[in-house]
Amino acid sequence: MDYFNEYTKNFDLSEYKASYKYYHSIRVMDDMEIIARNMSLPNYDVELAKCIGLLHDIGRFEQYARFKSYDDSNLDHGDFGEELLRKNNVLKNYDINESDYEVVYKAVRNHNKFEIEDGLTERELFFAKMIRDADKFDILYAFGNKETRKIFEDDDSEISEDVKEAFFKNEVIKRNSHITLSDEKIMLFAFAYDINLNVTKEMIKSQELYHKLYDRLDNKTKYQPYIEHIERYINERDD
């Protein structure tokens, strides 16, 4: 963690949104370790998974410093994170085989994309799926925990018809410029459609992350059909 801690000292972590990403990175590192150990991966692969978890959002800090926003239309933090790691030869600071540098780079690049790019090796694809799972797991955890995610805005906006249609087709929802705060909640619920590993699904179920998220919502009547649908999906899904 030494490089990560030294790098993030360049940014104002007293700001809530910046400090949130710092602690999110630590939690995702821990989640990657849990997932990897639950899958009985070799110790080296556990350490590789932890490295990916710690560094997956390294591009967020510069993004927020420049734009005071986490909008990837300004700067794609996955692409920028990969660029930063390559340009500064960051991985030399970690006990990672050079043959696995591309595994890290491609996991970081793909963790925030709507879909994983084609052309990855089996190993690259596996760790890309793992980091996407761990990232979503922590986001669900954080939004359901008022001590971790203090800001959880909601309003009386309607849920868009295209969002509603995609959700009940069990489709991941793509962010666009017209999305409402209510749509954002449905996007969180729809994370379940892009969980790749059975281990992650069981972690979500055992920690009741969707139930905790729902408990934080003020207008429960509006969201009830969605939480019921996604909990059925999680409980019935058989990988």
Same domain assignment for residues 72 and 139: yes
H-state helical runs in 39-118? 43-55, 58-67, 77-87, 101-110
Same domain assignment for residues 126 and 174: no
Same domain assignment for residues 138 and 168: no
Same domain assignment for residues 101 and 217: no
State whether the Cα torsion 12-18-21-27 is positive or negative. positive
Name the pLDDT band for 1 (thresholds 50, 70, 90): confident
Residue with tokens 């309607």: 158
User: Which of 100, 3, 93 shows the shortest CA–CA distance to 42?
Assistant: 100
Give the domain-ending residue among 122, 146, 170. Answer: 146
Residue 238 has pLDDT above 80, yes or no: no
Residue 239 has pLDDT above 60, yes or no: no
In the chain, the number of structural domains is: 2
Q: Cα separation of 164 and 89, whole Å?
A: 44
Residue 18 has pLDDT above 70, yes or no: yes
Same domain assignment for residues 91 and 194: no
State whether the Cα torsion 89-91-94-100 is positive or negative. negative
Residues sharing a CB contact under 8 Å with residue 40, sequence separation 6 or more, in sequence order: none
Same domain assignment for residues 161 and 193: yes
Neighbours of 146 (CB within 10 A): 13
Residue 151 has pLDDT above 80, yes or no: no
Same domain assignment for residues 49 and 88: yes
Q: Cα separation of 80 and 98, whole Å?
A: 20
Give me the CATH number covering residue 112: 1.10.3210.10
> Could you tell me how many helices (H) and strands (E) the chain has, helices first?
12, 0
Q: Cα separation of 207 and 69, whole Å?
A: 30
Measured between its terminal Cα atoms, the distance across the chain in Å is: 34
Name the pLDDT band for 168 (thresholds 50, 70, 90): very high
Determine the pLDDT at residue 237. 67
List the domain range (segments joined by +) for residue 5: 1-146
Q: Read off the pLDDT of each residue in 190-202 and give the average, rounded to a whole number.
A: 97
190 token code pair: 């729809």
Give the domain-ending residue among 127, 146, 165. Answer: 146
Give the domain-ending residue among 113, 146, 179. Answer: 146
Same domain assignment for residues 100 and 172: no
Contact 139, 111 (CB under 8 A): no
Residues sharing a CB contact under 8 Å with residue 43, sequence separation 6 or more, in sequence order: none
Determine the pLDDT at residue 149. 62
DSSP state of 174: P
Same domain assignment for residues 23 and 124: yes
Same domain assignment for residues 163 and 210: yes
What does the pLDDT look like over 34-51, one tens digit per residue?
A: 999 999 999 999 999 999
Same domain assignment for residues 135 and 212: no
- In percent, the amount of the chain with pLDDT more than 70 equals 96
